[in-house]
């Protein structure tokens, strides 16, 4: 599996008697997340969760219960026991613990940090707690949202649940129940899109799985490779931008370093433009996926050559060694790099403004003798 998983539920103090689907009450949800033995019979060997943020889970329950007691409905009455009082959500990382290697574990840690930032940015101080489970097949985190009370003592669910907010706005606008429900679903899709744009895309995770869109295995694998390539490109862009800022601070006033910084700056612009191009291509990628499978090998080869060029350029900038310069000048232009940009880079690398004034041909021959 290489696609994102985000799920959010509303939770009440008691399960509605007419509930048509499996629902859990507030206490049961928090007991299962806290790995209380009686609450998690589906786990072979329960382990205590790792608290990543906020309150301990028993304290979350006390806060939610206390606010529920204070809250009033639209008519000023005490809340029903089956009225929602909290949101509970799950974010899962799509690599099984048994399959994790050093690289995927490092990527998981980065994904978890990005997920925490996304949760904090989206829910603010209503984010009561976040915990991690590692006693199931896939590592995942649970988060719990306790809404504030309004001045009228109502639980402000609309402020924390985009689907409820969209549905109630539609009702206030006089829309039908069907239209209100459609607005709810659209808002929840936007929530999934937002998580993918801010977290999943940087880790090569797809927005949806192959079954939902009825893709063939080949088409799904092609899209997965495209997502991984885009994630690598975006991470490289951010890495180059960080490196660029470090160079600017460390070498202000040094002409040669400024030239190198300009090269990196152009590279960052090109990488971001490449990412925008990939996103535009992705918009109409579905109908053309099957036809594109035959070109996958060529794209992989060119992506490898582009990555090699970037690596050589970074090596040259950071070390100044001639072997990186020679390798760059003698290699063929990657198709993903603009010809004008490539030619300007070659002129820069073979110019007469080198520190030792040695012509490039003599430098290349000296390197080959080494």
Q: Predicted confidence band at 254 (pLDDT cuts at 50, 70, 90)? A: low
> Looking at domain 5-208, does it have CATH number 3.30.930.30?
yes
Higher pLDDT, 47 or 307: 47
pLDDT over threshold 80, residue 12: yes
| Domain-wise residue ranges, the chain | 5-208, 216-369
Residue 151 has what DSSP assignment? T
Q: pLDDT tens, 164-223?
A: 999 999 999 999 999 999 999 999 999 999 999 899 888 878 877 554 445 455 554 555
Place of tokens 């829309």: 175
- pTM of the prediction? 0.60
**Whether pLDDT at 86 is above 90:** yes
Q: Is the pLDDT of residue 14 over 70?
A: yes
Q: What is the mean pLDDT of the chain?
A: 81
Cβ contacts of 345 within 8 Å, gap of 6 or more: 263, 313, 328
Model pLDDT, residue 354: 47
> Where does the chain have alpha helices with state H?
26-33, 57-70, 102-123, 162-172, 177-198, 210-213, 217-250, 255-283, 289-292, 296-319, 322-330, 339-349, 360-369
Question: Mind listing the pLDDT tens digit for each residue in 221-249?
Answer: 555 555 555 555 555 555 555 555 655 65
Compare 127 and 230 and report the one with higher pLDDT.
127
pLDDT in tens, 108-120: 999 999 999 999 9
pLDDT, position 357: 47
pLDDT, tens digit (0-9, with 9 covering 90-100), for 16-56: 877 667 788 999 999 999 999 888 888 888 999 999 999 99
């Amino acid at each position: 599996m290489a696609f994102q998983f985000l799920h959010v539920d509303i939770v009440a103090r008691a399960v509605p008697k007419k509930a048509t689907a499996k629902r859990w009450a507030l206490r049961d949800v928090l007991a299962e997340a806290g790995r209380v033995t009686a609450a998690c019979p589906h786990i072979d060997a329960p382990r205590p969760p790792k608290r990543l943020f906020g309150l301990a889970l028993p304290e979350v329950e006390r806060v939610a219960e206390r606010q529920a007691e204070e809250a009033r409905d639209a008519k000023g009455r005490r809340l029903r026991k089956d009225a929602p009082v909290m949101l509970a959500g799950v974010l899962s990382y799509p690599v099984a613990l048994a399959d994790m290697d050093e690289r995927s574990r490092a990527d998981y840690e980065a994904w978890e940090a990005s997920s925490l930032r996304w949760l904090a940015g989206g829910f603010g101080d209503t984010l009561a707690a976040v915990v991690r489970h590692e006693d199931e097949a896939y590592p995942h985190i649970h988060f719990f949202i306790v809404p504030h009370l309004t001045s009228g003592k109502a639980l402000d669910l609309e402020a924390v649940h985009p689907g409820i907010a969209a549905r109630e706005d539609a009702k206030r606008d006089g829309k039908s129940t069907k239209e209100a429900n459609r607005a709810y679903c659209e808002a929840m899709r936007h929530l999934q899109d937002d998580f993918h744009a801010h977290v999943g895309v940087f880790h090569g995770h797809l927005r949806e799985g192959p079954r939902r869109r009825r893709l063939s295995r080949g088409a799904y694998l092609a899209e997965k490779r495209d997502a991984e390539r885009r994630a690598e490109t975006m991470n490289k862009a951010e890495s180059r931008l960080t490196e660029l800022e470090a160079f600017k601070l460390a070498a202000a006033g040094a002409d040669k370093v400024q030239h190198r910084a300009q090269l990196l700056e152009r590279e960052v612009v090109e990488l971001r433009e490449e990412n925008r191009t990939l996103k535009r291509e992705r918009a109409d990628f579905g109908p053309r996926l099957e036809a594109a499978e035959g070109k996958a090998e060529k794209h992989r080869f060119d992506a490898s050559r582009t990555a090699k060029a970037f690596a050589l350029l970074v090596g040259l900038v950071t070390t100044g060694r001639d072997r990186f310069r020679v390798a760059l000048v003698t290699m063929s232009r990657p198709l993903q790099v603009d010809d004008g940009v490539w030619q300007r880079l070659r002129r820069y690398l073979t110019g007469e403004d080198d520190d030792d004034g040695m012509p490039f041909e003599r430098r290349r021959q000296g390197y080959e003798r080494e």
